[in-house]
Structure 1
Amino acid sequence: MLCKYLVTLSVLVSSAVSAECGWGTMDGNPTRLVGHRGEKAFMPEHTLGSYHMAAFESADYIEPDVVVSKDGVLVISHNEWLSDTTNIASIPKFADRKRSFSFKGKYININRTDFWIFDFTYAELQEIKVVQEKFFPYRPQYFNNDFSILSVDNYLDLIANVSTTMNRTFGIIPELKSPELFNYLNPTPNGRWFEDSLLSILNKRGFGANQPPASDPLMDEGDLLNQVMNIKPANYKAPNYKRAAIQSFDPETCQYLATQTKIPIVFLNNVTPMLFTPKGLDLISSFSKIFSMDKEILLTGPEVFFTLDKVAINQTEIAEMGGFLMPEQLMAEAHKRGIAMVPFTLNDSRQKLNYFCSQGRDPYTKFCPTNRKEEMYYYFNLGVDYMFVENIFEAQMLRLAFDYKVRYGIDA
């Protein structure tokens, strides 16, 4: 993929360089960066601070996880429970709300004692403050207790505000968490209260118009840096759509959404081996044009990943569906079907890489990244179309450096 020529001649042959050098993504443009829960490397996740910082760092998309309050307000939280990322345990008036709860669906299985977000009204949730996860002591703790739990409308208000004040487009990419649970708690005749509620909010704000958007123009040399710096070309025209995608791990939710909206659907999965076959990709392409999976599947290949992750593999079914596809094949076959590929999650460089190979558990995989640069370059080389990232500043630097490498053959 990399161009082989002398940098000293690059000015003379710049037009030829642009034609010959590029990324291996489906549209030939640099991988898009999705701010995972905003910018959780520095701010408490899913807060105004986290989302605003992701905008300052020029994320292409800014991700909220969507759950539901007791009174049916769509709110932002990664988990259905509150103890990991809030100060709930320190609020005496809510001490009696902690309880055991279990729910078993086709795609989720919850069995835990905690404070549950669906036991609190939206007004009560405003009394609870968000904090950094305790598992990462190197993340700043200065902003603990500064931010309240957001509603989806709060999040969309912020995205609209920063889009206007910064004069740039930020994509939204909400994930519907545990649709089976929240549709059970909010029954409707069609059983799709959660999905319909989100679509209603998005449609009222114009996200359903002119979807799916046309492909972005192919970037030339220097375009990525200009995009990050928000330097617009002389012929720039504001888009006639709002950049958006909707995610879920629930395939039936994704299938339903695909019948109700033209907004691109992101199907997340890291537990179903048969999907990583030719016929599995055919199935995905029938309802989703964006497929997101555990990043390790794109490193080890699906068979090694599911074996080491102790996920049962029906070898007869896999053979009937065309056999497992190795990472390069998986990328090529997905792109052939019009499916963009998205690994999750590439973390801050201070966080240990937790691949099977880095744990000494994988004797099969030939390449094992030892740092974030090696990790991100591997997925850039593979041609992933989007990437969930934390510490967006680092990710931007590495993407820019890789873009230079792609176009000039030099490792910056």
Structure 2
Amino acid sequence: MTKTFTDKLPIIIAHRGASGYRPEHTLAAYELAIALGADYIEPDLVSTKDGVLIARHENEISETTNVANHIEFANRKTTKLIDGELKVGWFTEDFTLAEIKTLRAKERIPQIRPQNTIYDELFTIPTLQEIVDLAKAKSAEINRAIGIYPETKHPTYFQSIGLSLEDPLLANLAANNYQDANAPVFIQSFEVSNLQYLSTKTDLPLVQLLNATGKPYDFVASGDVRTYADLATALGLREIAKYAQAVGIHKNLLIPKDSTGKLRSPTSIVKNAHAAALLFHVWTFRNEDCFLPLDFQGNPQGEYELFFSLGIDGVFSDYPDTAKTKLR
């Protein structure tokens, strides 16, 4: 592994594309993110019924597509238990890719980003291959490497229904010549066991995601008592380093908030991660006040400045242009 946290500026990871400006997980959002200076574009990956990896925030797609308007799919609406939660709606694993391609994307949080609703139902749902094709084409066009940062969504669930995400992901990446530790790729997961499996199958960099609360769902399924808080300790980070090359952490793990939403003092998690030779990426940075700490209402640039000053190696941002202006 030759990626280091000492010789480069922090990377800008376009969170689901430039999702502050376009409906997330669309080629339009990814393309705009690249134009705005992102180093990596981030697709969340789920599977279709016929085993094709596509980009959606969740496998339940009523919030991010117009599926509810397609009367031919009305009988596909159902209830499923996903990672311990009952979900009602339409699920990607019940649709073939051809059927998915008849749907159109829409803004997921229209109450917060009403300006994005003008793009509702204009864009199709992209496959992983289409996203790779875009990254490669844009890299050649602008003479700058654009990386991809895919997340395996609900890997335990998809494995349980015979649609494992890991091997199809690796097959796709290998077919596109993304295979070694220096390839412009990070593979991320909130679960642990699938990253451990991937570490035996690939040299591509792996990222353990750490939430501010809860525990990995594969730990729930297996009865493992550890939580994300346990994984975020110095000991936990050293364990992560046995199978991953980076951590992607909720920003509250680095700078907690008090009960009023005001920031407290930073923790030692960056220092501990770097001591374990892990890169340190932080999510998610957004410009709207409802997502900002009390200290930076109306000033998202100030939040970036603070986090960059703590020695982090990358940020997930819905607004890569804002991140870029404060980095460079």
- TM-score, normalization: structure 1? 0.70
Is the aligned partner of 1:380 residue 2:308? Answer: yes
Aligned pairs, how many? 304
Instruction: Tell me if the contact between 2:20 and 2:113 (Cα under 8 Å) persists in the aligned partners.
Output: no
Structure 2 counterpart of 1:212, which letter?
A
What corresponds to 2:321 in structure 1? Answer: 393
Closer/same/farther in 2, CA of residues 97 and 351 from structure 1, 3 Å limit: farther
What corresponds to 2:173 in structure 1? Answer: 202
Which whole-Å CA distance do the structure 2 matches of 1:281 and 1:62 have between them?
25
State the shift of 1:328 in Å. 4.7
Which whole-Å CA distance do the structure 2 matches of 1:72 and 1:291 have between them?
28
What corresponds to 1:248 in structure 2? Answer: 189
State the shift of 1:352 in Å. 2.0
1:1-400 map, 5 Å = 26-103=5-82, 108-133=83-108, 134-186=110-162, 193-208=164-179, 211-213=180-182, 242-270=183-211, 271=214, 272-300=228-256, 327-347=266-286, 349-355=287-293, 358=294, 368-370=295-297, 371-400=299-328
Which whole-Å CA distance do the structure 1 matches of 2:121 and 2:131 have between them?
18
Which whole-Å CA distance do the structure 2 matches of 1:385 and 1:249 have between them?
19
State the shift of 1:63 in Å. 0.5
Identity %: 30
Show CA shifts across 1:258-303 (max 9, x none).
11111000110213211222211111111111101111111128xx
Identify unmatched segments of 5+ residues in structure 1.
1-24, 188-192, 214-241, 309-325, 359-367, 401-412
User: CA-atom RMSD, angstroms?
Assistant: 1.9
Which whole-Å CA distance do the structure 1 matches of 2:315 and 2:107 have between them?
22
Which whole-Å CA distance do the structure 2 matches of 1:329 and 1:137 have between them?
34
Which whole-Å CA distance do the structure 1 matches of 2:95 and 2:289 have between them?
33
Structure 2 counterpart of 1:377, which letter?
E
Which whole-Å CA distance do the structure 2 matches of 1:212 and 1:71 have between them?
30
Which whole-Å CA distance do the structure 1 matches of 2:177 and 2:283 have between them?
28
Show CA shifts across 1:19-56 (max 9, x none).
xxxxxx93143211000001111111111101111111
Closer/same/farther in 2, CA of residues 262 and 164 from structure 1, 3 Å limit: same
Closer/same/farther in 2, CA of residues 126 and 117 from structure 1, 3 Å limit: same
State the shift of 1:136 in Å. 1.9
State the shift of 1:71 in Å. 1.3
State the shift of 1:354 in Å. 4.8
What corresponds to 2:221 in structure 1? Answer: none
Structure 2 counterpart of 1:119, which letter?
D
Instruction: Tell me if the contact between 1:132 and 1:139 (Cα under 8 Å) persists in the aligned partners.
Output: no
Show CA shifts across 1:300-330 (max 9, x none).
28xx89xx9xxxxxxxxxxxxxxxxx84522
State the shift of 1:163 in Å. 1.3
Which whole-Å CA distance do the structure 1 matches of 2:6 and 2:267 have between them?
16
3-state secondary structure, aligned to 1:113 = strand
State the shift of 1:76 in Å. 1.0
Instruction: Tell me if the contact between 1:258 and 1:287 (Cα under 8 Å) persists in the aligned partners.
Output: yes
Instruction: Tell me if the contact between 1:344 and 1:387 (Cα under 8 Å) persists in the aligned partners.
Output: yes
Instruction: Tell me if the contact between 1:174 and 1:246 (Cα under 8 Å) persists in the aligned partners.
Output: yes
Ranges of 4+ aligned residues in structure 1 off by more than 3 Å:
none
State the shift of 1:142 in Å. 2.3
Closer/same/farther in 2, CA of residues 206 and 300 from structure 1, 3 Å limit: same
Structure 2 counterpart of 1:284, which letter?
I
State the shift of 1:369 in Å. 3.5
Structure 2 counterpart of 1:262, which letter?
D
Which whole-Å CA distance do the structure 1 matches of 2:244 and 2:111 have between them?
34
State the shift of 1:399 in Å. 1.4
Instruction: Tell me if the contact between 1:26 and 1:340 (Cα under 8 Å) persists in the aligned partners.
Output: yes
Identify unmatched segments of 5+ residues in structure 2.
215-227
Structure 1 counterpart of 2:313, which letter?
D
Which whole-Å CA distance do the structure 2 matches of 1:207 and 1:165 have between them?
19
Instruction: Tell me if the contact between 1:41 and 1:139 (Cα under 8 Å) persists in the aligned partners.
Output: no
Structure 1 counterpart of 2:99, which letter?
E
- TM-score, normalization: structure 2? 0.88
Larger radius of gyration: 1
Which whole-Å CA distance do the structure 1 matches of 2:62 and 2:318 have between them?
22
